């Protein structure tokens, strides 16, 4: 957690199972539910995607429909030339999840820090 910005940081490295991703969501929602809005920076720059397309879509829908994330703003940080999380991001966004994709940490933090109107 970046205390100065009230941003929760989630970093995925290597391969991460669907089960472990679901557990991470539950931990974030349980530990940071007091933050309104809940601002999350998901760093996937070192993620190796090994989930099937179906699992990725399932996780995206899970994010979009999770009550603990209803008021969350999520910035996904990926490498400039590759986002291993694109299927999840698209699926979640299409179901109403408020997220944006960035290849710059500074830009992601600025977007998360802006006031929501």
Query: Which CATH number fits the domain that encloses residue 109?
Result: 3.40.50
2 within a domain of the structure (yes/no): no
Return the closest-CA partner of residue 85 out of 72, 99, 96, 69.
99
Please indicate whether residue 84 or residue 23 has the higher confidence score (pLDDT): 23
- Domain count for the chain: 1
Indicate if the pLDDT at residue 1 is higher than 60: no
Structural domain that includes position 70:
7-113
1 within a domain of the structure (yes/no): no
Q: What is the pTM of this model?
A: 0.89
| Residue 88: pLDDT band with limits 50, 70, 90 | confident
78 within a domain of the structure (yes/no): yes
Indicate if the pLDDT at residue 87 is higher than 90: no
44 within a domain of the structure (yes/no): yes
Residues 6+ apart with CB under 8 A from 69: 25, 29, 38, 63, 97
Q: Where are the beta strands (DSSP E) in the chain?
A: 7-14, 39-47, 73-77, 99-102
69 within a domain of the structure (yes/no): yes
Q: pLDDT at position 37, please?
A: 87
Structure token pair of residue 87: 């299927």
């Amino acid at each position: 957690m970046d205390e100065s910005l009230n941003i929760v940081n989630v970093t995925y490295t290597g391969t991460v199972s669907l089960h472990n991703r679901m557990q991470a969501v539950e931990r974030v929602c349980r530990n940071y539910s007091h933050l309104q809005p809940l601002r999350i920076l998901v760093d996937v720059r070192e993620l190796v995607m090994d989930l099937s397309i179906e699992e990725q879509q399932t996780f995206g829908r899970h994010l979009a429909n999770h009550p603990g994330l209803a008021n969350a703003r999520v910035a996904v940080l990926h490498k400039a030339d590759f986002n291993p999380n694109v299927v999840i991001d698209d699926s979640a966004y299409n179901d109403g999840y408020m997220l944006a994709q960035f290849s710059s940490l500074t830009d992601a933090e600025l977007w998360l820090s802006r006031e929501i109107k």
